[in-house]
Amino acid sequence: MRQNHPQLGVLRTQLANSRYDLAQAQDQEAPNLDLSLKYVFNGYRSDPLGGTAGFTESDLQGYSAELTWTLPLWDNVTGETIRKRLLEQKQLELQIRDTESVLAVGLQTVLRSLELAVENARAAQVAKDLAEAQLANGVDRFKLGRITSFEVSQLQQDALEAQEREILSRIQYESSLIDLLILTGEIYSRYNLESAAEPRGSAHLPSE
């Protein structure tokens, strides 16, 4: 959940950007030292047919060094930027902790609702199957003249109401599942919201 939730993702991105800006400001505030070193070799050969060993020593060869030291004097802007970024990071870290706490509480609530929805859906399925079985048995008994048409009508009404309750329980389950997917941030990958060309997933009621 902490990795996928969009709100947390935005806050973490802002925190990363703030840390990067802080590092840049701290780098600007620090003294800069640039050192360059060169070696110059000049000579000539005493023997036109000789190799490199034939070069004579020359006063023109030697080392050359250059040192540059930069101090950020009277730079109040960089210091203010550092203080601002430090305060911004503390605020973002606090927002992240608060958001994680709220999401954790919300997750427990949604999980309880989903668990209850699953139990209700299973109970409604059992009630619907029982009502349909009673209706089928009632029709057979009506054909044998053991019950009246009014009683059959009552059984039909009971079966219809059981079917409606079963449908409503599944809707409640699907709604609780969607709440969970939204809270965890998994709804985008579950239903491929970023790519309409890919087939969408479907939620299924857990089996016994």
One DSSP character per residue, 5-32 reads: -HHHHHHHHHHHHHHHHHHHHHHHHS-E
Residue 107 CB: number of other CB atoms within 10 A?
Answer: 15
Q: What is the chain's mean pLDDT, rounded?
A: 76
Q: How far apart are CA 59 and CA 40, in angstroms?
A: 10
pLDDT tens track for 173-186: 999 999 888 888 78
pLDDT tens track for 80-106: 888 888 898 999 999 888 888 888 888
Q: 26 φ, ψ to 5°?
A: -65, -35
Question: Which CA distances in Å does 129 have to 46, 133, 160?
Answer: 113, 6, 11
pLDDT band at 200 (very low <50, low <70, confident <90, very high): very low
pLDDT given at position 53: 47
Q: Please give the average per-residue pLDDT across 110-114, as a whole number.
A: 92
pLDDT tens track for 9-65: 888 888 888 888 888 877 776 655 555 555 555 554 555 554 444 444 545 455 555
Question: With 60 as the cut, is the pLDDT of residue 2 above it?
Answer: no
pLDDT given at position 23: 85
β-sheet bridge partners, residue 33: 69
For residues 197 and 18, the answer to whether their CB atoms sit within 8 Å is: no
The residue type of 100 is E
For residues 89 and 19, the answer to whether their CB atoms sit within 8 Å is: yes
Question: With 90 as the cut, is the pLDDT of residue 168 above it?
Answer: yes
Residue 40 CB: number of other CB atoms within 10 A?
Answer: 10
